[in-house]
Amino acid sequence: MTKKIDRRNFMETSLKVIAGAGLYSVAEPLVRPALASKRPHHIANPAPIVVVKNGRASTMVRKAVESLGGIGKFVAKGETVVIKPNMSWDRAPAYAANTNPFLVQEMVNLCLEAGAAKIKIFDRPCNDPRRSYKNSGFDRVFKHLRNPRVEFSHIDERRFVYTKIPQGKNLKEFFFYKDALEADCIINMPIAKHHSLTTLTLSMKNYMGLLGGQRAVIHQDIDQNLADISTLIKARLILTDCTRILVANGPQGGDIKDVRRPNTIVAGSDPVAVDSYCCRFFSVSPSRIGYLSKAYKMGLGEMDLSRVPTTVLDLS
Amino acid sequence: MTRTRRWTQIITLLLFVVLFLYTEYHGQDILLVPVNIFLELDPLILLGTSLAARAQIMPLFGALVLLLFTALLGRFFCGWLCPLGTIFDIVSRKQQPNNSVHQLQKFKYLILCFLLVSALWGTQLIFLFDPISILVRSLTMVFYPAFEHVIRSIVNGLYTTPLAVVSEPIFAAIKEPLLSFTQPYYRLGLTTATCFLAILALEKITPRFWCRNLCPLGALLGICSQKGAITYQRSAACNSCQVCTEKCKTGAITASGAVDKRECILCGNCVGSCQLEAVSFALAPQAAATSIDLTRRQLLKSLGAAAMLAPVIQVSRWKEPRAASVIRPPGANLDDEKFLALCTRCGECMKVCLGNALHPTLLESGLTGIWSPHLVPDLGYCEYNCNLCGQVCPTGAIAYLPLAEKQQLLIGTAYIDKNRCIPYRLNSNCIVCEEHCPIPHKAIQFERRVIQTASGPYELLLPIVVEERCIGCGICQTKCPLTGSPGVVVQKKLPGLARTRIPS
């Protein structure tokens, strides 16, 4: 049956459409956040995170790993482990520009206990590599370690391989360090710091130390690029150093006044959740960190901390 | 005696090489090894630089000790210790001296005379002829990098082959003691190599051609050793066969058996070559014989020539308005002429520089500025926590500054090239320069500007240089991700120019 289009009919329908559109345009902005929050970026079963504070560095690492189910959950016997701390800057530990070496030391001990065949520790520093390794305190802890299973070394420029990032949205391929690509297990050990472009540099930005070539080009559209890198490099365990944090003039600082001492570590296997938790030391909402939002949207982790099982251990 | 001398020479040369290899950061902020000891013992450098700069150079007073011993004993340094002399001896070990020509020997005195008069006029040209400077410079800028390049290309060539199982452990073992942290390279490598090889080629004419005829250090030591205690002597057993005269490396022995002490380098070839054991060195002061007909007239001519030529060279410098625009290492004398007067162009600062950031100039700082060090931020930057160049400089041309002082010192200043800089040109954030800026409160700040884009508002961070904080280390320029000319450029900041403030 066809309805006859007469003048009345036409005007009625037109008004209905206009009114409907008008109503929608008024209501839509009000409804949108509700719709957005229901948009399924949530991941099904967010991995737990653990927050340990006010203890000795080594104790905190041990407690954190224990709480997550023990090192055996992350490192199996005979595996090759890459531990990636941040030792990027020629700054002493007090300036909170590099990861606390004692945290890494204890993690190495745990990996040895788990029976890892090889543990590699390296970074591609921004300052002179020798000076950075030395001044960050890592040389003192690791250089004279005579354990054939622990390899503490400088980057070998020949070992960067141009690698495709299949899930990359913006960054499709780049130079990555072979050892990291081939490792059975990556343990990411960043330090939480201020950064003028990404607001904060946390675990996801720590992977820049695995990049070769002219990696500074990553900085254009850095948020998406970091999320893209996280689709390729996936750490089994992330342990973020918040024993000291740098709240301004990052990522290398240089003024002790910019350093705060929450004396906390945050660990877990979900990069977005761990990073989101660290934001609270800086009183920053995780949604303000571009790369976290992007990674969340790509399903790389959970940003809604209310959904993340969190254990807080205060050792004081 | 010949054997003792050879061993002394070899050990000294090895010491020289080891000290050279130690001129590198090995995890110590303060170099504990006196890596520049050979340069500090060089009296020619002491004399030339202190004359030219009208300065007393404290560390070089060791050179006076060498002069004193030379006056007591003779030119033992040339025959026994000089690393360049040892290299000559190795190169021409099979060659017979050509002692038929003596006329050229006076040239070294004329050169010395010329250099010292130039220095008196303020133009330090010692570096052109000082043997230790030449050797250290040539090693630093060419031969050592070339050696390293050979090793690295072999190792890298084998890297992807099964032989890497053998080559990599060897490489790992030799890397720390023998090689640099990264392959060094220098501008002017070819020029430096040519000069050195030319000197080496002169050995074809006669062994130690350089030492006999050209070396002004030899001339200086020769003048001091006229009354030296150790003297060549022929005993009664001598049958005047003249073998020692022929074998003498420096042509110091006349046919009649007299010796010119200024020429004798105490090498002992005469003693070793004598079949009758009639030649010996004795502790007997003997009146110096002269084999060189250096007349007062010639000396005066040379003095006159130097007195004329030095100012001519000086005023023909590239005195362009931008001539002083090269960025000197931190601690370099702010008066560039004074810096050049003190700098002996040994290249120690360039060898030790962490990021291979110091390079020799060709004509950028004038004709007489050749080989002097300058920072090339496109190639490397001055590491904030490092003051090694000031530690190794033998003449104090680069003063040794305590770290806190060095970190305050202005060597240049950065400016943003807004036509190139990514945020200005492409409306896209970058901030690489800012994150690398080592100044605790950042000499690079941002002007924040919100722009509208297709995907909504976007906060643009436009870098601006806070000149009152910038010290000109150059890391921003080194790390700028642009290919081609960088978006941030460091230029020399002239002393005395008031630091401008940004409007606050």
Q: Which residues of B touch A222 (CB under 8 A)?
A: 429
Q: Tens of pLDDT along B363-404?
A: 888 888 899 999 999 999 999 999 999 999 999 999 999 999
Mutate to test the interface with A, among B432, B447, B482 (most CBs of A within 10 A): B432
B25 min Cα distance to partner chain A (Å)? 8
Does residue A99 contact residue A304 with C-beta atoms inside 8 Å? no
Q: Tens of pLDDT along A93-129?
A: 999 999 999 999 999 999 999 999 999 999 999 999 9
pLDDT reported for residue B335: 82
Q: What angle do CA B429, B431, B432 make, to 5 degrees?
A: 125
H helical segments located in chain A: 7-38, 57-67, 101-114, 129-135, 138, 178-182, 203-206, 222-232, 271-278, 290-297
Does residue A60 contact residue A52 with C-beta atoms inside 8 Å? yes
**What share of chain B has pLDDT > 90, as a percent?**
61
Least confident of A47-61, A234-248, B295-309, B396-410: B295-309
Does residue A40 contact residue A304 with C-beta atoms inside 8 Å? no
Q: Is the model more confident about B60 or about B28?
A: B28
Q: Which residues of B touch A139 (CB under 8 A)?
A: 27
Contact A135/B at CB under 8 A: yes
pLDDT reported for residue B503: 40
Residue with tokens 């105490």: B266
Residue B481 Cα distances to A219, B66, B183, B484, B485, angstroms: 9, 51, 22, 9, 10
Is pLDDT of B226 > 50?
A: yes
Do B431 and A219 count as a contact with CB atoms less than 8 A apart? yes
Is pLDDT of B218 > 50?
A: yes
Nearest by CB: B461 against A131, A197, A251: A197
Sign (positive/negative) of CA torsion B137, B141, B145, B146? negative
Average pLDDT value for residue range A85-92: 96
Residue of B nearest to A157 (CA): B182
Nearest by CB: A251 against B430, B435, B481: B435
CB-side neighbour CA atoms (13 Å) of A72: 1
Residue of A nearest to B462 (CA): A197
Residue B458 Cα distances to B423, B448, B454, angstroms: 12, 10, 10
- Chain A residues 87-126 with a CB less than 8 Å from chain B: 90, 126
> How high is the ipTM of this complex?
0.90
Residue of A nearest to B157 (CA): A158
With cut-offs at 50, 70 and 90, classify the pLDDT of residue A1: low
With cut-offs at 50, 70 and 90, classify the pLDDT of residue B317: low
Nearest by CB: B354 against A131, A195, A196: A131
Do A158 and B159 count as a contact with CB atoms less than 8 A apart? yes
Is pLDDT of B322 > 80?
A: no
Average pLDDT value for residue range A223-243: 96
CA distance A22 to A17: 8
A288 CA to centre of own chain: 15
- CA terminus-to-terminus distance, chain B: 77
pLDDT reported for residue A32: 63
With cut-offs at 50, 70 and 90, classify the pLDDT of residue B496: low
Let me know how long chain A is: 316
Q: How confident is the prediction for chain B on average, in pLDDT?
A: 89
Is pLDDT of A39 > 70?
A: no
Which among A307, A232, A241 has a CA at the least distance from the CA of A93? A241
Q: How many CB pairs under 8 A join A and B?
A: 78
A308 residue type, one letter = V
A258 min Cα distance to partner chain B (Å)? 9
Nearest by CB: B181 against A130, A250, A252: A130
What's this model's pTM, rounded to 2 decimal places? 0.89
Q: Tens of pLDDT along B169-208?
A: 999 999 989 999 999 999 899 999 999 999 999 999 999 9
B340 min Cα distance to partner chain A (Å)? 29
Q: What 8-state DSSP symbol labels residue B398?
A: B
Nearest by CB: A255 against B435, B441, B481: B441
Does residue A241 contact residue A265 with C-beta atoms inside 8 Å? yes
pLDDT reported for residue A29: 67
Do A131 and B422 count as a contact with CB atoms less than 8 A apart? no
CA distance B279 to B1: 12
**What share of chain B has pLDDT > 70, as a percent?**
94
B375 min Cα distance to partner chain A (Å)? 16
Q: Tens of pLDDT along B127-168?
A: 999 999 999 999 999 999 999 999 999 999 999 999 999 999
Does residue B376 contact residue B359 with C-beta atoms inside 8 Å? yes
Q: How confident is the prediction for chain A on average, in pLDDT?
A: 92
Nearest by CB: A216 against B386, B461, B481: B481
